[in-house]
Amino acid sequence: MTAVMAPTRAEVCVVACAEAWRGDGEILASPIGLVPTIAARLARATFAPDLLLSDGEAMLVQGTWALGAPPPVIEGWIPYRAVFDLLYGGRRHVMMGPSQIDRYGNANISAIGDFARPTVQLLGVRGAPGNTVHHPTSYWVPRHSRRSFVAAVDMVSGVGYDRAAAAGPEVTRFHEVRRVVSNLGVFDFDTPDHRMRLISTHPGVSVEEVRAATAFEIDAPDEVPTTRLPTDAELRLIREVIDPRQARAREVPG
């Protein structure tokens, strides 16, 4: 057997994102963006075989397939209206890509600056308000910096823990921000008041580097573990099956 080349940072990130769906069972995994898309396919191809995945349009599909290629087997029809119905019932875990996120997991995909006249208009809140109050949500941030990990987001699109608690039981009932993955590390909110916590740094990244790139104080244990490396089987799936053209390297260099 030939030796497998060491994992890149992008590949570590793919596996860290895939881990967000571990244990989710038979629910719809909705990855938004490139690295989460590779990650969701990898998760289903390995440790989360019951996940449902869509083709990004309106079909539920089986199998493991390459970015940009047609999926092998259609197993269901899920137009947008069916996604809404499904998400209200909670059988979904989305991974979105916010431009800003704060220490309680409030996330902004709508607009930067004053909403009345933003300095940078983004997409709009899309489904983030509804997603975050109905089913687990995770986030992927490819460029971890003080501009993306901010003290306060300009427009709360995805609801974080402090805002959910302030809004009341109808919001906290199904609310869960599961995990945040950046190009530097992995974070969760498993602290007494649900502040963001560093749970691992990617190989070659120090805790100081994460702190310096974060505009809020971040909880971290005394000993922060290193993000787990992809297995050889995972690397083969990423490199040969899901992303043979290495689109991931454009999103996460190095």
Partner 1 sequence: MADKRMTEADVVAELRSGMTIGIGGWGSRRKPMSLVRAILRSDLRDLTIVGYGGPDVGLLLAAGKVRRLVYGFVSLDSIALEPHFRAARQAGAVDVTEYDEGMLQLALYAAACRLPFLPTRVGLGSDVMRINPDLRTVASPYGGEELLAVPALHLDAALVHLNRADMHGNAQFLGPDPYFDDLFCQAAAAAYVSCERIVPTPELTAAAPVQTLRIQRWMVRGVVEAPHGAHFTSCDPDYGRDEDFQREYAKAAAEPELWTAFQERYLAGDEPAYQAAVAARTTAVPA
**Least distance (Å) between residue 46 CB and partner 1:** 28
Between 170 and 232, whose beta carbon lies closer to partner 1?
Answer: 170
Between 11 and 251, whose beta carbon lies closer to partner 1?
Answer: 251
Residue 240, classed as helix, strand or coil, is helix
Q: What is the DSSP letter of 133?
A: H
**Least distance (Å) between residue 235 CB and partner 1:** 29
What are 231's two structure tokens?
């297995």
Q: Which residues bind partner 1 (CB under 8 A)?
A: 57-59, 79-81, 84, 87-88, 110-111, 115-130, 132-134, 155-159, 163-164, 166-171, 173-175
Taking residue 53's Cβ as centre, other Cβ atoms within 10 Å add up to 23
By CB atoms closer than 10 A (0-12, 13-18, 19+), residue 242 is buried
Taking residue 100's Cβ as centre, other Cβ atoms within 10 Å add up to 24
By CB atoms closer than 10 A (0-12, 13-18, 19+), residue 145 is middle
Taking residue 70's Cβ as centre, other Cβ atoms within 10 Å add up to 10
β-bridge partners, 201: 185, 226
**Least distance (Å) between residue 78 CB and partner 1:** 9
**Least distance (Å) between residue 127 CB and partner 1:** 5
Angle between helices 9-19 and 34-45 (to 10 degrees): 60
Between 171 and 229, whose beta carbon lies closer to partner 1?
Answer: 171
**Least distance (Å) between residue 203 CB and partner 1:** 30
